Structure 1
Amino acid sequence: MNFIIDPGAIEQESMAIIEKNVPLLASLPKKEQSIVKRIIHTTGDFNIAPLVKIHPQAIDRGLDAIRRGCNIYTDVNMVLAGLNSKRLAAYGIQALCHIADPAVAEQARRTGQTRAMVAMRRAGSLQGDIVVIGNAPTALFTLCDMIKQGEADPALVIGTPVGFVGASESKEMLVNLGKVPYITLQGTRGGSTIAASIVNALLYM
């Protein structure tokens, strides 16, 4: 059996297959196409395309933040691990996650909150930064509350928490917030790999 072994050729062929099988892509602006194709490539799921929701200002705000060398805050280390480290370094971007900090674990035990909630508040005002939540709905609920209360002002929120308890609702809250550009995925589907793929799609632009 013959198969492709060159990584660049594999990716190029993958993207061609995606374009052939997802007619919806043709109706999207080029930059949005790049985001959606990267999500499909990551999941291997053609049917996920209609679930992707991108705020009209999201991509431009995200690219501006990247060019400025913003910080990127993630809810879990799995998202952090999926980011393209060479691209981050090229823009002087620091990618951070507080979920494993001992102080976060201690406060979570003391208050009864999830570590994701405590870690999100420890990130501070997030002024001009990109927040990437791929796993924990409680982190996204907390971030939305911080934004509503004027305690946080990120440039972009990438919110794709996964699961059956709170994931869909937290993403709906993000979309309905009306105060921050977002990239999200409707419903219960999501995850750290999808969140990381969206950041990488922006970095590749």
Structure 2
Amino acid sequence: MGAQPATPNRQTRWEKRATLDETRTQVMCYKITHLEAFAVDEERAKAVRERLAGYRAIWPDITTEKGVAEAVKGGAAAAAYLAISYALSIALSVFMGMDVLRAGGDAAALISVNGVLAAAAFSIMWLIWKKHSIVAASLGLAWIAFEVAAKVVSMSANKSMVVAIFALIFSINGLRGTLAARRRVSGTTEPQV
């Protein structure tokens, strides 16, 4: 006795059921695929935002109020770096008897020059931070650019050079932030710097 052939009704029902299951599976796969695609786009966007968050500490987005405040703080921090470095050289000269600048000569003259420079840097810092002064930000940028150029020319590129480069970047941000703050106050919509 051999195997009996399947009846056409059973095959048809089975095929109908398989077709229906395939259709349901395809619809579910379609929905899942599009949901995953949406989720992947959201995940990518979130990953990009997270990656940019690290860079935003160095180069803030000045189109937002928070970004402008961060940029201005960066410029003020760069000027504070100058003020602290000159104050530290005064302290080392007075208390330790060290000639930090290796200039030789009169210690009192070095202390007074460093005192004037520290006061000027502190004034620039205050003007950038509190008054959002474009002139002060420009002076701070020029001063730090001169300091970096002097370090490059004198070939004293060491660990302090890295700090000076960051100070240069922050002072550029300070100028960007003060310009953006002034644009917000005046209501002009010029392209961002």
TM-score (norm 1): 0.26
- Select the structure with the greater relative contact order (CA < 8 A; seq sep ≥ 6): 2
* Larger Rg computed on CA atoms: 2
TM-score (norm 2): 0.27
Identify, as 1 or 2, the structure richer in helix: 2
